[in-house]
Amino acid sequence: MNSFSLTQSLEFEEGGEIQNTHQLEIAGEEHAIEEEKAFSERRVSSVRDGGSDKDLEVGTDAQQTDEEEQTAELHDPNIVGWEGDEDPANPMNWSATMKWTMTGIVSLITFIVPLASSMFAPGVTQVTEEFHVSNTMLEELVVSIYILGLAFGPLLLAPLSEVYGRWVIYTVSNIFYTVMTIACAVSSDMSMLIVWRFLAGCAGSSPLAIGAGTIADLFPIHQRGLALSFYALGPIVGPGIGPVVGGFLAEAKGWRWIFWLLTIMSGAITVAQIAFMKETYAVTLLARKTKRLQKSTGNLQLRSKLDSGIPAREILIRAIIRPAKLTLLSPISILLSITAAFIYGILYLLLTTFPLVFEAQYGFSIGISGLTYIGLAVGNTAGLFIFSMTSDRYVSRRAAQGKLKPEDRLFPYFLVAGPLIAGGLFWYGWTAQAKTLWIAPIVGSALVGLGNMLFFMPVMGYLVDAFTVYAASAVAANTVLRSVGGALLPLAAESMYASLNYGWGNSLLAFLTLAFSPALIALYLYGERIRLRYPVKV
């Protein structure tokens, strides 16, 4: 069994005392790098038990010392941990109903927020007419500025969740998101709408920032793929479904009703989140348990097993700078973030230009042009189904063989994702330019959607599995650059199509997509070697 599979299996067999990536961050950040390097050099028969700040040493003497520390910790009456492997307070031991209820709520929040990014797109022409705006750059900006908000929000919300827990971050951000959406609905000019859209994106980014962490709190690695599939449904499928609803709603009731509908949905899910979700972050749960015991027993020497002794302010500062360090210093994080930014940018370029293409080329109305997004939605759904039905099975089989490594999340999806996206872009662009039957470019967009899902789903699983203690920061770094790409690339759409038309314009994007493919395949083949050679200490 290699380092990854041994570490992960022991991590969850120990009753979940260190059950997710964020807990390991608190328990001993620098230790994780040393642990992974030591395991890669030789196999050892013992790993540290949850929460120790001591670096793992290889050798008999080190094993004995480690075991002695574990034994002393187990018998230390002042250490507060879980009450055995089956402790019902441990989120890993919650019922399947509770776990999937919470996963469903997080997934719904994660669906509504990206839905809002594109649902507004078909109504932009109504906004420009009402506010007498003729600047086409502002038309594209009022849609994409929301994505920019989604980029910046996680930089603050993810670190705050490591200090105050998950539940409070979900609650506060959901309430603010609902308020900001109301503000969008009552905006009186374009500048006001742009500002409120940006703030709504910032407030609504909490599930993108900490949703993967919540799933890691609840599910062991061999169950995580299916849960991540539901969680990732929103960011990938939501932007494809949004315009379908938004197009008909804008045509029937006007663009403001798009935001009123979003307000109703976000308000309802906020109530459900407050009522039915519970705190899942073990560091916060054990800290609360420690305080209760201190109060009831009067013993102020009690301390949580996951308490690193680091002040909250220091934890917050470290967590804030960590995504930036990973973005700049980790080759894997850099490659995946840049690729995700480009592919997400392509997705939103298509989302913002579908009305232009189908209204100009095919004479569709606002409502009917919204239906053209169904191709993306169908492709995304197919990709989600393929990943959820195959990923966990393959990972479980590799684990049974003792060969599991994080890169197994990428196979075989990275072999086909790039060519699928590129092929879909070629198909979409040239059929739209030739004004062939309207279904032809929609089929091309479905291929783009399929490729998108087979890229983003493995990336999400890989970042959670590969970066262990730094997974939340890796996801945050990826989310930031991905959202920046989604916000900025669409701004070049009009000038690109004006110069190259739809055929060569989309072909340019397809060629650039293919240029990333060899690097993604190399990541699958050599990712483990790169991770061990370039560890990042933050």
Q: What is the rounded average pLDDT of the residues 171-193?
A: 94
Percent of the chain with pLDDT over 70: 84
Cβ neighbours for 188, distance < 8 A, ≥ 6 positions apart: none
Instruction: Name the CA dihedral angle for 215, 154, 17, 42, rounded to a multiple of 10 degrees.
Output: 100
Number of C-beta neighbours around residue 98 at 10 A:
15
For 80, phi and psi rounded to 5 degrees?
-105, 120
Beta carbons within 8 Å of 147's beta carbon, 6+ residues apart? 117, 201, 348, 483, 484, 486, 487
User: Which stretch of 50-64, 82-96, 282-296, 436-450 has the lowest confidence by average pLDDT?
Assistant: 50-64
Task: Give, as one character, the DSSP assignment of residue 491.
Answer: G
pLDDT band of 277, cuts 50, 70, 90: very high
Q: For residue 442, give the nearest of 522, 352, 377 by alpha carbon.
A: 377
The residues with which 79 forms a beta bridge, in sequence order, are 303
Q: Give dist(CA 322, CA 300) in Å, integer.
A: 32
Distance (Å) of CA 217 to CA 33, 58, 318, 322, 474? 21, 29, 21, 20, 17
Average pLDDT over residues 460-484: 76
Q: State the CB neighbour count (10 A cutoff) for residue 292.
A: 12
Residue 63 pLDDT exceeds 60: no
Answer yes or no: are the C-beta atoms of 90 and 16 closer than 8 Å.
yes
Distances (CA, A) of 500 to 356, 389, 441: 15, 40, 17
Report whether 53 contacts 27 (CB < 8 A): yes
Confidence at residue 106, expressed as pLDDT on a 0 to 100 scale: 92
Spatial CA neighbour of 150 closest among 422, 485, 515, 442: 485
Integer Cα distance of 419 and 337 in angstroms: 19
Q: Which residues, 6+ apart, have CB-to-CB distance to 497 below 8 Å?
A: 353, 356, 505
Cα–Cα dist 235/344, whole Å: 10
- At 486, which amino acid appears? G
**In one letter, which amino acid is 313?**
R
Distance CA 452, CA 134 (A): 33
What pLDDT shows up at residue 17?
34
pLDDT tens-digit series, residues 18-44: 333 333 333 333 333 344 434 333 333
The residue assigned the tokens 């945050």 is 476
C-alpha closest to that of 158 among 180, 435, 150: 150
412 prior amide bond cis, ω within 30: yes
- In contact, 506 and 426? CB cutoff 8 Å: yes
Q: Would you state the structure tokens that stand for residue 437, as one six-digit string?
A: 């039957």
Q: Which of 40-49, 74-83, 291-300 has the lowest mean pLDDT?
A: 40-49
* pTM for this prediction: 0.71
Nearest to 249 by CA among 240, 264, 260, 238: 260
pLDDT-derived band at 167 (thresholds 50, 70, 90) equals very high
Residues in the chain, overall count: 538
Residue 318 amino acid letter: R
Whether the pLDDT of residue 54 is over 80: the answer is: no
Cα–Cα distance measured from residue 337 to residue 161, given in angstroms and rounded to the nearest whole number: 22
Tell me which residue of 502, 383, 384, 527 sits closest to 433, measured CA to CA.
502
Kindly state the helix (H) or strand (E) to which residue 79 belongs, with its residue range. strand 79-80
Domain 91-279+313-533 annotated CATH 1.20.1250.20: yes
Q: CB count, 10 Å around CB of 253?
A: 13
Q: What is the mean pLDDT of residues 395-411?
A: 81
Q: Does residue 304 sit in helix, strand or coil? A: strand
What are the angstrom distances between the C-alpha of 342 and each of 339, 377, 483, 516, 528? 5, 19, 10, 10, 24
User: d(Cα 442, Cα 431) in Å, to the nearest integer?
Assistant: 9
**Is the distance from CB of 352 to CB of 117 less than 8 angstroms?**
no
The residue that leads in pLDDT, 58 or 255, is: 255
Question: Which of 405, 452, 425 is CA-nearest to residue 508?
Answer: 425
**Domain ranges for the chain:** 3-80, 91-279+313-533
pLDDT category of residue 498 using cuts at 50, 70 and 90: confident
- The pLDDT > 90 percentage for the chain reads 25
Residue 382 has pLDDT above 50, yes or no: yes
The mean per-residue pLDDT over the stretch 185-190 comes to 92
Mean pLDDT of 345-353: 84
Q: Which of the residue ranges 50-64, 280-294, 368-382, 446-460 would you say has the lowest mean pLDDT?
A: 50-64
